[in-house]
Structure 1
Amino acid sequence: MGLIVLPATISDITPAWDAYFAAFAGDVILDILYPHGVDAELRKAHTEGTLHWWHNVTVQHTFKCVDTDTGEIVGLAVWDVYWRERTEEERVKPTIPWLEGKERERAEGFLEPLWRSREKWLGPRKHVYCFVIAVHPSHQKRGIGQLLMDWGLETGEKLGVPVYLESTSAGLPLYTKLGFERLSEGALLKKEVTHFEKDVEAPLMVKMPKAAGGMEFEEWAEKGYPPLAG
């Protein structure tokens, strides 16, 4: 069966994000961000919110992976491309406006260490950020994850900037295969937030462009983030 990655359009919002919700069903991230479950009402609100976001966002790009035999959207990728330095507005701490009280506190407590880590490692600097990679469970082991990664990696190469992401343990083999390095310090997720038995560290991964000449990210950071592309 054939697979192709294409830019997602407005009509793709619901089916493309269906792949995301299916991929992360039962995962702590959905439990935290959508504590009342993912039902038809929530999906309607999510689609409307995503459409509003698309009308205002300038740096984010969404892609779908399509099975060309069936026409089904089997994967989703969302990339943030900072081809110029990030503005203060683009660097603000994330909020979860659709939740209230303790639920909102928990969700924002989950996102904050990820935000702090990205601020620590990259701050305002130019980079490509992998916001979401999701493959529908019925279509895993077909190389879809790598196909969805290609656009972001190629964009990082063209711009001569690092590609940065937060990984799960399950994602580590793919990202390592694609040439990512794991940073020495990850994002610490507290058990009070995740409801796991203990604190866990989310792995942070970076792939440097060829313009770095083989220099690893942390070496580049230690040297003061010198320009990688003319």
Structure 2
Amino acid sequence: MPFAVLPALIPDIQAVYDVYFEAFAADPDGHGLLDILFPSGFTSAEFRTAHADATLAWWHRADNDTPQYTFKCVDTASGDVVGMAIAYLYTTPRKDAEPFKAEWLEGGQRDKAERVLAPLCETRERLWKGKAYIYIEVCAVHPKHQGRGAGTALVQALTSLGDSCNLPVYLESSRTAVGLYTKSGFHRIPPAEARVVHPAAVLDSSVDVEVPLMARLPGTSTTSYTAAGSTSTADDETSSVPWLLSENTAALAGVVAMTLAAIAYRGLKVLQL
């Protein structure tokens, strides 16, 4: 079935986040994250409605100038929303980010959530400070529709945006989605450059969990880059990423294209596969 990746609109909020919650709940890593972020539960109709209302209010906040955009993947045969993605389009180097705060939680629950997400935010800021780039915060497909190509359609839409703007794309993958991103030209950032490991004690699990940090240069497919800047078609998913070591400046045409895209999606603002 063909899929269309489009900006999410206000009427799509409930459907988009239903996909998000169902996809994360079906993934071992994702379910654990939801339990930490929403310890009181995330399956009831009351919660979903309240979450949608809070999302709408956040979209309308007057001081919300975050370049965050939400996308939906639609099955064109049925019209159903089967996938979603959230991306941040940093067309120019961003200002210093505020430390992550789980303000909707209190006490030990808040501390636990911040111990999980703060290292991801801090690592991302360290890698990309002073650089223009695209950050994919979430990419999810409803479990009933996984394996049909919706995930690939979402990733291709966002990497095409990076290609047209000459910007690298960065994400924190779930362990189950590494293969999909690798096929789309992403490669893992070597642990020597950046690494995030969630302690078992924080996750209430039996083992520590390392988060796959992945990035993709504009214009790449399945080719990875070595530290020297040459290309390699080796199967190793981990390679050095030279743009992290030097200042990244997008071509003027890329900035113009991204700016036009941002203007087109402005007002459609709306947490892996």
Note the C-alpha offset of 1:217. Answer: 5.6
**Distance in 1 of aligned mates of 2:248 and 2:170:** 17
Instruction: Note the alpha carbon deviations across 1:41-79, whole angstroms, 9 max, x for none.
Output: 221221122112222344111111112222211111111
Match of 1:175 among 173, 181, 200: 181
Match of 2:18 in 1: 18
Q: Give 3-state SS (helix, strand or coil) of 1:24's partner.
A: helix
Output the aligned Cα RMSD: 1.9
8 A Cα contact 2:132 2:248, kept in partner: no
Match of 2:86 in 1: 78
Aligned to 1:220: 243
Deviation of residue 155 (structure 1)?
A: 1.7
State how far apart, in whole Å, the 2-side matches of 1:37 and 1:160 are: 41
Q: Secondary structure at the match of 1:171?
A: helix
Task: Report SS of the residue matched to 1:113.
Answer: helix
The answer to whether the 8 Å contact 1:66/1:72 transfers is: yes
Task: Identify which of 47, 52, 65 aligns with 1:42.
Answer: 47
**Cα pair 1:208 1:217 within 8 Å, conserved:** no
**Residue pair 2:132, 2:250 contacting (<8 A) in 1 also:** no
Change (3 A) 1:226 1:36: closer
Q: Does the CA contact (< 8 Å) of 2:200 and 2:206 recur in 1?
A: yes
User: Is the 8 Å Cα contact of residues 206 and 217 (structure 1) preserved in structure 2?
Assistant: no
Cα distance between partner residues in 1 of 2:198 and 2:66: 29
Offset, 1:125: 1.5
Q: TM-score, normalised by structure 2?
A: 0.77
Q: 2:134·2:162 contact (CA, 8 Å) conserved in 1?
A: yes
Q: Distance in 2 between matches of 1:183 and 1:146?
A: 21
Q: Which residue in the other structure is 1:124 paired with?
A: 130
Structure number with the bigger relative contact order (C-alpha 8 A, sep ≥ 6) is 2
Matched with 1:69 is: 77
Aligned-pair identity in percent equals 42
Amino acid at match of 2:110: R
Query: Structure 1 length normalisation: TM-score?
Result: 0.91
| CA–CA distance in structure 1, aligned partners of residues 146 and 210 of structure 2 | 25
The question of 1:152 aligning with 2:161 is answered no
Cα deviation for residue 25 of structure 1 reads 1.1
CA distance in 1, matches of 2:24, 2:90: 27
